[in-house]
Copies of this chain bind each other. A is one copy, B any other.
Amino acid sequence: MRISFLIGGPQGRGVETASFMFIYGVGSAGYYVYARREFWSNIAGGRHSYVVGTISDRWPAPAPGNSVELALTFDGHAVLEHVFHLMRGGYLVYNTEEDSKTPDSYPMMAKPLAERLKHFAKGQGFEPTVRNFVEYLRQSGVEVVGLPYNKHISEIGRKIGVASPVMLARFVNTFVVALGAALLGLDEEYVARGVGFALGKKADVIEQNKKVAAEAIKLVGKKMTTIQPRSPGVKRIFWNGNEASAYGKVVGGVRLVAYYPITPATDDAMVFERLIPFPVGKDAGELAKLERIGAMAFQAEDELAAVAITTGGAIAGARSATVTSGPGFSLMSEALSMAGMMEVGIVVTLWMRAGPSTGQATRQSQQDLFFSLFIGHGEYPKIVYASGDLEEVFLDNIRVANWAERYRVPVIHLVDKNLSNTFAVMPLPDPSNLKVQTTPPVVYPQTKEAEAYPLEEVVPPKLLPGVSNAIFHLNSLEHDPEGDPEEDPVVVTKMFEKRMQKLKLIESEIPPEEKVLYFGPADARRVIVGWGSTKPAILTALEELKDVGFLYVKMLYPYPVDLVRRYLEGREALFLENNYFGQLAMITRMFAGVVPTAVAVKFNGRPITTDDVVEAYRKFEAGQKTIKLESDL
């Protein structure tokens, strides 16, 4: 079972809240939901925002495609935005009070879209009013539920004894969500649960909204389907990617997060901050006697400071991470090179967004792979690792925290806007298969001058100020084993090689299944190669595309040359990426010498959808070598 939906309306005016109500409501009926939010890079001011997703009785729920079966719209603007996003046989819910509006009625609609709509209407021979577009949809096989929202809400208000316009305006979310619930055959109880989640647990608020929902549901004469409340039998969680990341940090032992706010990374840090102090588990050894333990969340003055504070935290002995996006990551270049030189392990969670420069701050891309691999002047070891879905975001946060400590290198954890704004009701992941691995510090019985960089050890001993009883010097300059500046060519060579040997160590220790995963038939002649958040869309498409393999690369640096070669040997490979250059394809050529058969890219700031994957694959099958994807949902 799979129902795709979208909820659209004016940004910053409740449409996000309505989405939470809807998703949580459906979730509370026992279903899984996988949804994603799209919004403009300003706070309010009238832009259009929406959530698109899928409801399913299994997990992973399928990833959405380029059109949906159910569209809940708040205003005429939303109808116009989504004219081309509805399936034949799908349902549109809209406000007939906006019928006479045209693209020009919405000054905040993107001008190019307005032009396209007007041009389309002209081509079809109708005036570009909301009514006419709805009529066009109806003729294209879309079921329409058109209601005068405000009129009904006032009436409902009268029934339940609410008259103030401010109060009534607050009911719009519930009203629209209830219309959706009606079409799905869900009763007001589930809407009320959604309200409870989105607006807080106040009983009177919930009760009132429940009444609104009950009335609204009565207004809908049709039904798409009837989804029966069910019990999925597993613990489930409702979260988004930023939250999954923050939880992963807490569980993975990160105790210092320094950051400078930036979309779409901020919430990773702010959720971490909100969770302080954390609840202690029963098996927490010596900590078990405490109920809660603390951590440091620190808003720095800029990203230069954020990454330095993070590095300082790691020097002192705390697992430390910073979270950022492209512009902030650029500012961390110098400090990453230093972490490599000084041999300090830190985690940078990089929430990629559409660049270059400020670009589209709230839009999707995978443009920062090249840069992550080669960031910072000079040559030094590092790890670059990518997550592809919310479970991975959570678990990989534990992995990267382990690695930063184990190898004492900067670890760049690649996630993206798509993941950050993916909202899912999904099974609670189980971190217990993954160990939190730490290294005990060296502690000398007596104060002692210690070598911070002994030549014989690929990874230096864990010396901590105030803990190890050691006196040692750390240095950003090339140094001798004592950490003091050294330019002797023989020592310099040894020290350089010693640092670089970490790359070999990393390659040999991290197990293959954490580096690449292969899905689909073992003997597939054709393989799609991808990384990061395109994973759910590709996996969903694989259900349709028979006989195709999917090589999913998580470890980007040091690049798993042998594994990738082995999987791609003798097969045709389509690389599929959310960037312009096809960066994974290029680095695969560089590191593994494997030549991609075809490359499909999408760089319009929107994620790759399931339909995009199918389209790309069809073109690839037909022999096309470079494929540009342009869908816009």
Of A110, A333, A370, A605, which is in contact with the most chain B CB atoms at under 10 Å from its CB? A333
Cβ of A632: which chain B residues have Cβ within 8 Å of it? Answer: 489-490
The one of B110, B488, B589 that contacts A487, using a Cβ cutoff of 8 Å: B110
The one of B112, B326, B360 that contacts A480, using a Cβ cutoff of 8 Å: B112
A559 to chain B, nearest CB (A): 11
Contact A337 B341 (CB under 8 A): no
Copies of this subunit: 2
Known: A377-B330, A378-B365, A595-B593. A492 touches B357 (CB 8 A): no
Contact B379 A580 (CB under 8 A): yes
Known: A354-B378, A590-B589, A593-B595. A478 touches B367 (CB 8 A): no
Contact A377 B360 (CB under 8 A): no
Contact of A581 with B by CB under 8 A: yes
A350 to chain B, nearest CB (A): 9
Contact of A147 with B by CB under 8 A: no
Cβ of A421: which chain B residues have Cβ within 8 Å of it? Answer: none
Contact A477 B41 (CB under 8 A): yes
The one of B304, B341, B362 that contacts A359, using a Cβ cutoff of 8 Å: B341
Within 8 A of B (CB), among A302-343: 304, 325-327, 329-331, 333-334, 337-338, 340-342
Chain B residue at minimal CB-CB distance from A628: B493
Contact of A149 with B by CB under 8 A: no
Contact of A514 with B by CB under 8 A: no
Interface string of A222-265 (1 = CB under 8 A from B): 00000000000000000000000000000000000000000000
Chain B residue at minimal CB-CB distance from A302: B304
Contact of A111 with B by CB under 8 A: yes
Contact A377 B356 (CB under 8 A): yes
Contact A500 B334 (CB under 8 A): no
Known: A486-B112, A490-B116, A493-B604. A478 touches B359 (CB 8 A): yes
Of A111, A371, A606, which is in contact with the most chain B CB atoms at under 10 Å from its CB? A371
Contact of A469 with B by CB under 8 A: no
Contact of A126 with B by CB under 8 A: no
Contact B489 A376 (CB under 8 A): no
Contact of A278 with B by CB under 8 A: no
Cβ of A363: which chain B residues have Cβ within 8 Å of it? Answer: 487
Cβ of A490: which chain B residues have Cβ within 8 Å of it? Answer: 112-113, 116, 604, 630, 632
Cβ of A375: which chain B residues have Cβ within 8 Å of it? Answer: 333, 371, 374-375
The one of B330, B341, B373, B476 that contacts A376, using a Cβ cutoff of 8 Å: B330
Within 8 A of B (CB), among A35-84: 40-42
Cβ of A590: which chain B residues have Cβ within 8 Å of it? Answer: 586-587, 589-590
**Cα A379 to Cα B304 with chains together (Å):** 22
Contact A603 B357 (CB under 8 A): no
Contact of A120 with B by CB under 8 A: no
**Cα A116 to Cα B490 with chains together (Å):** 10
A111 to chain B, nearest CB (A): 7
A194 to chain B, nearest CB (A): 29
Contact of A491 with B by CB under 8 A: yes
Contact of A496 with B by CB under 8 A: yes
The one of B341, B488, B604 that contacts A110, using a Cβ cutoff of 8 Å: B488
Interface residues in A, total, Cβ within 8 A: 77
Known: A112-B480, A371-B376, A586-B590. A489 touches B630 (CB 8 A): yes
Interface string of A545-588 (1 = CB under 8 A from B): 00000000000000000000000000000000001110000110
**Cα A632 to Cα B380 with chains together (Å):** 22
Contact B379 A579 (CB under 8 A): yes
A148 to chain B, nearest CB (A): 30
A609 to chain B, nearest CB (A): 12
Contact A606 B376 (CB under 8 A): no
**Cα A304 to Cα B334 with chains together (Å):** 12
Contact B604 A593 (CB under 8 A): no
Contact A487 B40 (CB under 8 A): yes
The one of B337, B367, B580 that contacts A377, using a Cβ cutoff of 8 Å: B367
Contact A334 B337 (CB under 8 A): no
Known: A112-B490, A112-B491. A355 touches B368 (CB 8 A): no
Contact of A139 with B by CB under 8 A: no
Interface string of A108-125 (1 = CB under 8 A from B): 001111001000000000
Chain B residue at minimal CB-CB distance from A595: B593
**Cα A365 to Cα B620 with chains together (Å):** 43
Contact of A465 with B by CB under 8 A: no
**Cα A593 to Cα B500 with chains together (Å):** 25
Contact of A485 with B by CB under 8 A: yes
Within 8 A of B (CB), among A351-399: 352, 354-363, 365, 367-368, 370-371, 373-380
Q: List 10 A-B contacts (CB under 8 A).
A: A111-B488, A112-B480, A326-B337, A329-B377, A331-B333, A341-B358, A357-B476, A371-B375, A374-B374, A489-B605
A-B interface, 8 closest residue pairs, ranked by CB to CB distance from nearest: A355-B378, A356-B378, A326-B377, A590-B590, A341-B357, A330-B334, A330-B333, A110-B488
Chain A interface residues (CB < 8 Å from chain B)? 40-42, 110-113, 116, 304, 325-327, 329-331, 333-334, 337-338, 340-342, 352, 354-363, 365, 367-368, 370-371, 373-380, 476-478, 480, 485-493, 496, 500, 579-581, 586-587, 589-591, 593, 595, 603-606, 630, 632
Given A489-B630, A590-B590, 4 extra CB contacts under 8 A: A357-B380, A360-B492, A490-B630, A493-B630
